[in-house]
């Protein structure tokens, strides 16, 4: 084998390695699509008659009812830019819309980064949804579809963010994470300004094209006659949503459990079907 053949073979190998490196970079850390637009609430469709008491046990919901399928990603994407009109609710209901300027959704997990323990938090204010409530009868409270624009979730590392969007959440194909509530649990009585309530919201969480039943624990305070604020929290398993962490030399022992939190402020005006 002459020197030219060896040199040519070496150059060919380097080119192949360079192409492969570029491919891996784009696959893992390459650019991703930006949000298609500001997120807006899908209008809540209020059920006049609810068949299950609001204070039913969460375990009964999971055992006796099938999760309500969340809308397909294409359907949610089409609905997201639509402005929310007045609700179809009857009676004395308040329709409250999440105020993104005062709200935030985040995920929290742990990992070892370069051998040191680290808590990773990814957050966004691009969360949208509506709540319908009658302050004189909280048992009739209902929650509409909640959406989060997954393309806007950000941690303290741009490289991690690109890996999350490219390989974990596939945000180019699945822009929105959705939660489709099925029941409000443990909420009853009436509400006055200053009151605080703890309750649960059961429903279906959809990440990419995988849906699982989850229950959020909620604490909410009546700030004013037309405003609520609070926090909703749940914990999910990565495996349940097939959220696989890419193999990176500096990252190890990523937690299987992921905490999902929503800090929200929701405000609106009263709707009267007879008005």
pLDDT tens sequence across 28-56? 557 899 999 999 999 998 876 544 444 44
Q: How many CB atoms lie within 10 A of CB 77?
A: 17
Distance CA 97, CA 198 (A): 19
Residue 261 near residue 232, CB atoms below 8 Å: yes
Residue 147 near residue 178, CB atoms below 8 Å: yes
Q: Same domain for 134 and 234?
A: yes
Domain that holds residue 99: 34-272
Distance CA 68, CA 91 (A): 26
Q: Same domain for 149 and 210?
A: yes
The per-residue pLDDT for 139 is: 96
The per-residue pLDDT for 31 is: 87
Residue 25 near residue 164, CB atoms below 8 Å: no
Residues of the chain with pLDDT under 50: 15, 17-27, 50-68, 70, 73-90, 271-275
The per-residue pLDDT for 143 is: 97
The per-residue pLDDT for 7 is: 58
Q: Same domain for 76 and 60?
A: yes
The per-residue pLDDT for 93 is: 84
- Antiparallel, parallel or unpaired: β 130-134 and 137-143: antiparallel
Distance CA 231, CA 221 (A): 9
Q: Same domain for 99 and 4?
A: no
Domain count of the chain? 2
Q: Same domain for 13 and 139?
A: no
- Antiparallel, parallel or unpaired: β 257-272 and 130-134: unpaired
The per-residue pLDDT for 91 is: 55
pLDDT tens-place string over residues 162-174: 999 999 999 999 9
Q: Could you tell me which residues are beta bridge partners of residue 230? A: 220, 264
- Antiparallel, parallel or unpaired: β 127-128 and 176-185: unpaired
Residue 82 near residue 40, CB atoms below 8 Å: yes
Q: Could you tell me which residues are beta bridge partners of residue 108? A: 121, 259
């Amino acid at each position: 084998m002459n020197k030219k053949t060896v040199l040519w073979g070496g150059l060919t190998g380097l080119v192949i390695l360079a192409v492969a490196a570029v491919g891996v970079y784009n696959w893992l850390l390459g650019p991703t699509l930006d949000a298609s637009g500001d997120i807006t609430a899908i209008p809540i469709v209020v059920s006049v008659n609810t068949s299950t008491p609001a204070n039913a046990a969460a375990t009964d919901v999971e055992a006796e009812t099938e999760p309500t399928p969340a809308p397909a990603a294409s359907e949610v994407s089409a609905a997201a830019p639509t402005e929310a009109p007045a609700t179809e609710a009857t009676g004395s209901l308040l329709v409250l819309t999440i105020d993104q300027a005062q709200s935030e959704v985040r995920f929290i997990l742990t990992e070892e980064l370069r051998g040191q323990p680290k808590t990773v938090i990814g957050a966004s204010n691009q969360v949208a949804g509506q709540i319908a409530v009658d302050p004189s009868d909280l048992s009739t409270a209902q929650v509409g579809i909640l959406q989060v624009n997954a393309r806007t979730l950000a941690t303290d590392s741009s490289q991690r963010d690109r890996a999350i969007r490219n390989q974990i959440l596939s945000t180019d194909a699945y822009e929105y994470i959705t939660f489709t509530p099925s029941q409000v649990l443990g909420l009853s009585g009436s509400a006055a300004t200053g009151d605080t309530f703890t309750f649960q919201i059961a429903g279906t969480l959809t990440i990419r094209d995988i849906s699982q039943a989850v229950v959020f624990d909620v604490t909410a305070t009546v700030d004013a006659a037309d405003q609520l604020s609070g926090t909703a929290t749940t914990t999910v398993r990565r495996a349940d949503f097939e959220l696989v962490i890419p193999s990176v030399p500096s990252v190890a022992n990523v937690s299987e459990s992921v905490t999902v939190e929503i800090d929200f402020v929701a405000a609106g005006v009263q709707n009267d079907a007879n008005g």
